[in-house]
């Protein structure tokens, strides 16, 4: 019984309470006010004798049971609070898991930059190296900056958290919106790129890339609903497979280039497109903006400090350095070799695939490289499936998103966030036809604005420290980082504006406005509902002064409505019955029956020649309410419940409609008295 | 004020009641049990001093008001009971309205028969006259038979009514199903044929025929929701326009043929299709089955006796003879001339159009003929829009269809039936691409089976009369009618089976089963709810013996839940609060607050480590119920109502879900106590 094993998680029962009996007085002063009643029925089991503890239940029979079993097979056994696991990882595993997003972006960064440059034709290649060097510099700066963040936030410095704390509510919301977009785009771009790796190796699958991508997203969604143990080996392998195969590939490529090995690479030759633009600075900046997608994911280590073994910050910083180094070298290696072989971007084959085929031909190793590429990209998408729901949980906890994002499902996963992400990314992939080039403009904006917010927040963080003079160099590093990423953000926005970045510019303010409105609403509700302890005491001391008045809408006199009349008499002294006649004779018919029965409950009849029911009924209820001096009114609505669910549509849902309208009137309680039909 | 004008429709107030005061005793013995409270507030107005009478209300402001004004413009002013009109018509008007369905079918009957015959190529024409004569004979037989029906059912002998009364429940349901299909098909075929008449005159519209047809259906639906005054001139003109122009056309045609007038008709020549089948008896029977669609609508006069002026049956019979004569002559005239000119059926032009072009060329008269044809066909569709909702009303009144079909909307029209018909026929027209040929197989089956049922029912009706020997000749006529239409039905089913009639064979049993199930359910409900006057008296004499026990689910202690606790104490002595803790600490937090407040209501806490809410809550409610000896339990659910409607989605609908589950448990009343938020 899982809930009994880890009792340290549950509030401890006070000693001295017996395990049977109706009301138990324990040693706790308030005990006589809490009812401890033991019971042996499933699904409720007593623990000690104070509480009930609920266990899981399966439906007994029928379709419900079938669905339940299916869910268990797909998703697994339900987990209780006590089973939430928190493991710590060593640096090797942590590197694999946390750097998959960053390192996987080398699969498309060079290619996207080159796509822009070849718009200038052959002459575009001359700018390649400059762009590559700029990106590598940026990697270094950002890595250094996040190293500072690690030191400042040893519990994990998420961008949202850092910004909210240091820059305030609205910057925090903007950063959060940028992050949500970033994570969504990470999934879309990574999945699309992974599918591109597959279709490069198997070109016959190219027409089905959208379907494959959506299927991959559905699979990852399901896996996450199961609650992924992210430390598993299955998560470590793809990253190292990719890293190792990339280094081997790059090594062979350079060896061939420098003549060290007697390899004869056959460069893959796609036709060079015509030059359609001159090689302007703007074009080079556009290329830089696309290539800077290499940096996406660099913040992951700073966010994920809690999973490191002790000493956490030191291990995290070391891993960060490793990650930055691997990222920079693989990126620049691909970049240089692509330049050397003058590979041409194509829709049907990725640059990495072309490079691999150039150096090693269509050998088994080539297929291994493609598989590893796809693997690390899916892994990158998976990490976003962990980050997005976690962020939406934090936002919901801070009351910026609806409650629903807080709830953990059967497997302790944040179901709402996972499902929302799965649906959003599926739609995105379908609309953009799984094209990385179409998705890149939205991707880079979100990522780099998040960087900028994070770094700026860090500068403010150091500034606010009482001993700020001791942190000058941290401030400078983060300042350079903020400026560099800020410039990059602006460049990206300007160069990508017409290609899709404008959407982000529109979505972010909308998201921020929505989150602020949600927050305002929740606070307003909390404020209006709050009952301070003092007020509570005062109210409890006050005697209950009044009784309720009942009104019973009656359509016709039958068992169900008579039941409602009896209930009304049970709870109130003053009972009035109301009948709205939508057909001409029904009022008279009811009145006669009322007399024959000798009922001593007053009957009010409303003729409704325009055949309206709810309007006149509510109007007369309000009238009665006013006439009786506005007591607390209870409207007792007779209902009958058919024996089978499909029969419900045969009965107009008047009770529900009435209830909805009445719920808008203050001081009215609405009671449904269901009469159950057996056949 | 409409409701005051026709007071004969309302129950008359008893004399002697004053028009002011709170409780009034009138001369009626039971008066002191009925509350007569005058008031001057709109929308309720007192009449005399006994009742309230509801008036119509318009929303005061905002979007609701806009919608309301739009509805008034489209549909018109609301009508009260008193405004239902019942006019009587003379024979000329009655003929126009009631025979439009029958006479309009001449527009397609010949064509459909010929389409089958030309499958045998040129030789098919030789069978045309035989088929035509058979159809004319059938018209005579059926007309004679319905003349008997008119005499037997002077209040109007609808097929449903006749069959139900004479042959029993299931035959009645089969007949009703056949009629519903017949009316639906009438709309689909008539609209499609009308559109074909238009596209024959304006061939460029042919690709848009489906859109035009759906627009026509939408228009007719809207017009019927307004509540059509079917005696209007706009309904009389198209029929006579068609009849007159047909006679003129046929007259000219015959005159040209016989050389009486020096006209030189230029027969329209579409290419004769290749012979694809031999001219077998089966083919001829198929052609007959298609051509027999000429008879659809012949029963209308027997159904519509109430609209005739006195003496009703005599006028109806005379009009029936006129109708049959006009139908037979126009049909046979078109038939013979088509044969003489050897016109060939084509998808792009109707036979009637070809005939008109042949005889009078593309003169203004030709366009008039097409317009009149389209007009009478739309009129035929309109009559089905009166018949279908009326039949569905009768079926709902007899409890074979859901209640909703009984209700009259603002304009005293049967809204549900009208809308259902509009949607069904639109779908049919879209699926069959507004092709009359594709729709005919389903049409004829419904119509002829309805004829057969009606005639058979009449035979039984005469047989059951005590003086049956006096009605021998009526029995014989109806018998011949039943046999003839029965044979025709079988021929149609066999010959059209694979072309669509099988659908009708499947739909009718399904409809019958559904209606029988609905009837069974409604009777079962009525039986279980019925409270006889004796039982009622007994119950009223019995004192109310018990009070209720309350259970209040509490999530946290705030104003809304405290309100619910106060209400519970108002209505019950024994109150228990229940808290389900989905997060580990919430139970303890609540318990502490409970103590601090000094609340003397017992609190039960359910730990739910699997984070389920509704299941454990309902389980503990049931447990408490059992433990207290099953009293009548009231579950008082705290609710809070946000100030704005869009805010509701920010709050999980737990109250609604709980209510739904609890409503399945007997002896539990469910009360919602709404706390209203102002901001």
Tens-digit pLDDT profile for residues A163-199: 888 888 999 999 999 889 989 999 999 999 999 999 9
Contact by Cβ (8 Å): B537, A598: yes
Closest CA to A26 of A8, A7, A13, A10: A13
B400: confidence class by pLDDT, cuts 50, 70, 90: very high
Tens-digit pLDDT profile for residues A570-616: 888 888 898 888 877 888 888 888 877 778 788 888 877 777 788 77
- In a 13 Å sphere around the CA of A181, the CA atoms on its Cβ side amount to 30
User: In this predicted structure, what is the pLDDT of residue A20?
Assistant: 27
User: In this predicted structure, what is the pLDDT of residue B24?
Assistant: 25
In B81-232, which residue ranges form alpha helices assigned H by DSSP? 91-98, 100-104, 106-117, 128-152, 159-167, 169-201, 209-225
User: In this predicted structure, what is the pLDDT of residue B35?
Assistant: 33
Strand partners, B607: A53, B581
Query: Is residue B377's pLDDT more than 90?
Result: yes
DSSP readout, B13-55? Answer: PPTT--SSSSS---SSTTGGGB-------SSEEEETTTEEEE-
User: In this predicted structure, what is the pLDDT of residue A4?
Assistant: 26
Which of A39, A587, A615 has its CB closest to that of B623? A39
Number of A/B CB contacts below 8 angstroms equals: 343
Torsions phi, psi for A488 (to 5 deg): -60, -40
Other C-beta atoms within 10 Å of A598: how many?
Answer: 12
Distance from CA of A16 to the nearest CA of B (A): 18
Contacts of B33 in chain A (CB under 8 A): 594-595, 599-600, 602-603
d(CA B585, CA A60): 31
Which of B409, B566, B640 has its CB closest to that of A544? B566
Distance from CA of B211 to the nearest CA of A (A): 30
Contacts of A562 in chain B (CB under 8 A): 531, 536, 539
Average pLDDT of the residues in B21-36: 28
Contact by Cβ (8 Å): A453, A163: yes
In B465-500, which residue ranges form alpha helices assigned H by DSSP? 472-496
d(CA B265, CA A530): 93
Which of B531, B572, B659 has its CB closest to that of A557? B531
User: In this predicted structure, what is the pLDDT of residue A563?
Assistant: 87
Quote the DSSP letter at residue B236: H
Query: Is residue B56's pLDDT more than 70?
Result: no
Torsions phi, psi for A129 (to 5 deg): -65, -40
d(CA A273, CA B507): 62
What is the 3 state secondary structure string of A173-225?
HHHHHHHHHHHHHHHHHHHHHHHHHHHHHCHHHHHHHHHHHHHHHHHHHHHHH
Tokens for B109?
């009957």
Cα separation values, B598 from A162, A540, A542, B603, Å = 42, 7, 12, 12
Q: What torsion, rounded to 10 degrees, do the Cα atoms A315, A321, A323, A329 define?
A: -160
Strand partners, B7: none
Tens-digit pLDDT profile for residues B80-139: 666 666 667 888 888 888 898 899 999 999 999 999 999 888 888 989 999 999 999 999
d(CA B399, CA B600): 53
Across the interface, whether the CB atoms of B2 and A609 are under 8 A apart is answered: yes
Quote the DSSP letter at residue A673: E
d(CA B399, CA B405): 10
Contact by Cβ (8 Å): B395, B404: no
Query: Is residue A44's pLDDT more than 60?
Result: no
Contacts of A53 in chain B (CB under 8 A): 606-609
ipTM comes to 0.72
d(CA A538, CA A545): 14
| Nearest residue in B to A4, CA atom | B609
Q: Residues with Cβ < 8 Å from B318, sequence gap 6 or more?
A: B91
Across the interface, whether the CB atoms of B540 and A598 are under 8 A apart is answered: yes
Angle at B281 between CA B279 and CA B286, to 5 degrees: 90
| Nearest residue in A to B519, CA atom | A650
In B465-574, which residue ranges form alpha helices assigned H by DSSP? 472-496, 501-529, 533-541, 559-571
Which of B5, B28, B33 should be substituted to probe chain A, the one whose Cβ sees the most A Cβ atoms within 10 Å? B33
User: In this predicted structure, what is the pLDDT of residue A444?
Assistant: 83
d(CA B187, CA A255): 81
User: In this predicted structure, what is the pLDDT of residue B82?
Assistant: 67
Average pLDDT of the residues in B454-461: 88
- In this predicted structure, which of A32-41, A381-390, A429-438, A668-677 has the lowest mean pLDDT? A32-41
In this structure, are strands A668-676 and A633-641 parallel, antiparallel, or unpaired? parallel
Across the interface, whether the CB atoms of B11 and A676 are under 8 A apart is answered: no
Across the interface, whether the CB atoms of A540 and B43 are under 8 A apart is answered: no
Contacts of B81 in chain A (CB under 8 A): 584, 609, 611
SS3 B635: strand
Query: Is residue B521's pLDDT more than 90?
Result: no
User: In this predicted structure, what is the pLDDT of residue A276?
Assistant: 84
Torsions phi, psi for B213 (to 5 deg): -65, -45
């Amino acid at each position: 019984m899982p809930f009994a094993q880890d009792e340290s998680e549950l509030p401890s029962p006070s000693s001295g309470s017996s395990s049977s009996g109706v009301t138990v007085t324990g040693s706790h002063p308030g005990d006589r006010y809490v009812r401890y009643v033991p019971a042996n029925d499933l699904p409720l089991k007593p623990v000690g004798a104070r509480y009930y503890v609920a266990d899981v239940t399966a439906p007994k029979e029928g379709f419900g049971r079938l669905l339940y079993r299916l869910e268990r097979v797909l998703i697994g056994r339900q987990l209780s609070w006590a089973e939430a696991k928190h493991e710590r990882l060593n640096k090797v595993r942590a590197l694999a898991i946390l750097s998959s997003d960053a390192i996987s972006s080398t699969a498309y960064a060079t290619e996207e930059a080159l796509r822009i440059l070849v718009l200038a034709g052959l002459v575009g290649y001359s700018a390649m190296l400059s762009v590559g060097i700029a990106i590598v510099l940026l990697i270094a700066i950002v890595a250094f900056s996040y190293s500072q963040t690690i030191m400042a936030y040893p519990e994990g410095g998420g961008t949202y958290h850092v910004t909210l704390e240091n820059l305030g509510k609205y910057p925090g919301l903007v950063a959060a919106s940028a992050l949500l977009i970033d994570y969504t785009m990470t999934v879309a771009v990574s999945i699309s790129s992974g599918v591109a790796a597959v279709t490069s190796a198997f070109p016959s699958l190219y027409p089905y890339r959208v379907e494959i991508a959506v299927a991959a997203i559905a699979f990852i969604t399901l896996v996450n609903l199961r609650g992924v143990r992210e430390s598993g080996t299955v998560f470590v392998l793809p990253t190292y497979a990719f890293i190792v195969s990339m280094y081997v590939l790059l090594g062979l490529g350079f060896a061939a280039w420098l003549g060290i090995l007697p390899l004869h690479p056959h460069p893959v030759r796609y036709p060079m497109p015509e030059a359609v633009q001159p090689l302007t600075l703007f074009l080079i900046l556009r290329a830089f903006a696309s290539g800077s997608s290499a940096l996406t994911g660099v913040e992951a280590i700073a966010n994920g400090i809690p999973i490191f073994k002790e000493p956490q910050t030191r291990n995290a910083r070391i891993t960060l350095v490793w990650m930055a180094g691997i990222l920079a070298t693989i990126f620049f290696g691909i970049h240089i070799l692509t330049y050397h072989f003058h590979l041409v971007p194509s829709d049907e084959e990725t640059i990495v695939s072309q490079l691999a085929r150039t150096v090693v031909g269509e050998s088994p190793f080539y297929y291994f490289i493609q598989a590893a590429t796809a693997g690390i990209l899916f892994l990158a998408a998976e990490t976003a499936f962990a980050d997005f729901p976690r962020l939406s949980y934090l936002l919901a906890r801070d009351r910026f998103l609806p409650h629903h994002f807080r709830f953990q499902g059967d497997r302790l996963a944040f179901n709402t966030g996972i499902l929302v992400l799965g649906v959003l990314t599926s739609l995105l992939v379908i609309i953009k036809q799984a094209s990385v080039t179409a998705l890149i403009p939205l991707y880079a904006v979100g990522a780099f604005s998040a960087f900028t917010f994070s770094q700026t927040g860090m500068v403010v963080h150091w500034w606010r420290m009482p001993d700020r003079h001791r942190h000058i160099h941290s401030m400078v590093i983060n300042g350079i980082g903020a400026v560099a990423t800020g410039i990059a953000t602006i460049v990206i926005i300007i160069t990508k504006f017409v290609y899709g970045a404008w959407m982000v510019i529109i979505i972010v303010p909308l998201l921020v406005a929505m989150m602020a409105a949600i927050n305002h609403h929740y606070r307003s509700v909390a404020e209006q509902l709050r009952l301070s302890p003092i007020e509570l005491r005062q109210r409890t001391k006050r005697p209950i002064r009044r009784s309720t008045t009942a009104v019973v809408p009656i359509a016709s006199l039958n068992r169900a409505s008579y039941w409602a009349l009896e209930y009304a008499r049970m709870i109130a002294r003053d009972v009035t019955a109301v009948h709205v006649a939508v057909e001409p004779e029904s009022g008279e018919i009811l009145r006669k029956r009322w007399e024959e029965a000798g009922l001593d409950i007053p009957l009010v009849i409303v003729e409704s020649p325009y055949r309206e029911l709810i309007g006149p009924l509510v109007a007369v209820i309000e009238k009665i309410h006013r006439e009786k001096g506005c007591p607390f009114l209870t409207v007792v609505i007779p209902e009958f419940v058919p024996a089978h669910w499909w029969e419900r549509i045969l009965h107009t849902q008047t009770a529900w409609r009435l209830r909805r309208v009445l719920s808008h009137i203050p001081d009215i309680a609405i009671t449904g008295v269901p009469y159950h039909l057996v056949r």
